[in-house]
Amino acid sequence: MIVAYFWKITPSRIPFALIAMAMDRFVLRSSSNVGFFKSLGTGKGETFTPADANALRWGLIAEVKDLDSFDQSFVIKQWRKNSVSEFRAVIEPIASHGKWAGKEPFSPSVQNWDGQVIAITRARIAWLQNMRFWRAVPPVTASLKSAPGLIAAIGIGEAPIGLQGTFSIWQSPAALRDFAYRGQAHTQAIAATATYKWYSEELFSRFAVRDLRGSIND
């Protein structure tokens, strides 16, 4: 089972968030309940530059064996204690292409899904391609915000520059496919990716939504 959390904090809790981002990995790595995981910063997802960063919202995605136990674990309780709102998505992989930090983290386990879906994209941008990538992003993000069937979307990242992605919620697989493969701005970006090879690593994954708790926009 895959679970994703996003927490909103107040400015006074930023020091906690920075420390937790550095230290949570050691606790999670030592847990037999946790497989693949990533702590995440967030942003507006408009330019994917450092100016996009949102220091008041942080996230975590993890593969867990026992969801109830993980939901009451030390790491989650500490974030919950220091946040003003929490969003949780319990999801199962439908399809996943590419790698994240050298791994293929999500093994598809769901077929013939017609309910709400979550898409997670993640890319390591080749350093020399940053400027070209940033110039190409605004038309895609504008079309994403107006895409039929989109419920919500935020930017995610592991570092200020070069490790970027999106987390988006859609009404249906068809709505996501229409945006990904029929939207002009996105298809042009796909073509440019093939031409300029601006990613040194990329991942595109789709998930069936099993449970949503809270609002990602809070």
CATH number of residue 149's parent domain: 3.30.70.100
Predicted confidence at residue 138, as pLDDT, reads 46
pLDDT (tens digit, 9 = 90+) per residue, 150-203?
Answer: 999 888 887 544 457 889 999 999 999 888 776 454 455 554 454 445 666 788
Instruction: Please check whether residue 28 lies inside any domain of the structure.
Output: yes
Instruction: Please check whether residue 218 lies inside any domain of the structure.
Output: no
Structure token pair of residue 34: 């946790």
Instruction: Please check whether residue 133 lies inside any domain of the structure.
Output: yes
Predicted confidence at residue 43, as pLDDT, reads 81
Domain count, the chain: 1
Burial of 5 (0-12, 13-18, 19+ CB in 10 A): buried
Structure token pair of residue 7: 């927490």
Instruction: Please check whether residue 78 lies inside any domain of the structure.
Output: yes
Parts of the chain with a pLDDT under 50: 127-129, 138-139, 160-162, 183, 185-186, 191-192, 194-196
Predicted confidence at residue 191, as pLDDT, reads 47
Predicted confidence at residue 161, as pLDDT, reads 47
Predicted confidence at residue 199, as pLDDT, reads 61
Instruction: Please check whether residue 191 lies inside any domain of the structure.
Output: yes
User: Is-contact 43 52, C-beta < 8 A?
Assistant: yes
Domain with 142 in it: 2-213
Instruction: Please check whether residue 126 lies inside any domain of the structure.
Output: yes
SS3 call for 148 = coil
